[in-house]
Amino acid sequence: MSHPLAFANQNLYYANILLAAWRRSLSEQESSAAQINQAFGPAVQARLLDGYGWLLLTACRIRHAPDRPPHSVDDLPPLPTGLVRPAEVQACAQLEQDGWLAELKSPLPESPVVRRTASLAQEVEVSIEQFLDWSERLGRLSQQVADAVDES
């Protein structure tokens, strides 16, 4: 039996290690900021999305972890008959539609060109600040999920 919360925390921890290395690379100006951002962005996004998926499984009280975590509420396995998805998962489903989770899940540009996000006419590029924000939000979500599981 595996525990998805442990996998979630591990992925969030690894994401934070990558973010620290990203910050060091930017401060040391090893390459252009755009190239550094392009190098680190996909790896950090993958870790954050995996952590998020494990959190979804944890919130649903799924103890037998699949080989890979889902990256969306829509990809969660069905719950046993009579059980409903927890409020945290319903909130995540909404955020996947039009919130910060929708932005995290959006494909990153393959070049350091400005792209449109889910936000109204806002243009951004891959930046460490956005990933730091997502990491902090996932950390708070992890705590909320852990608290909810402890209370049940």
Contact 4, 52 (CB under 8 A): no
The pLDDT tens digits for 100-135 are: 999 999 999 876 554 455 554 444 478 999 999 999
Give per-residue pLDDT as tens, 9-40: 999 999 999 999 999 999 999 899 999 999 99
Q: Say whether pLDDT at 1 is over 70.
A: no
More confident residue, 144 or 1: 144
The model's pTM is 0.87
Helix residue ranges, H only, 1-152: 4-28, 33-59, 87-98, 100-105, 128-151
Query: What is d(CA 54, CA 46) in angstroms, rounded to the nearest whole number?
Result: 12
Token code pair at residue 1: 């039996």
Per-residue pLDDT tens digits for 36-64: 999 999 999 999 999 999 999 999 988 78
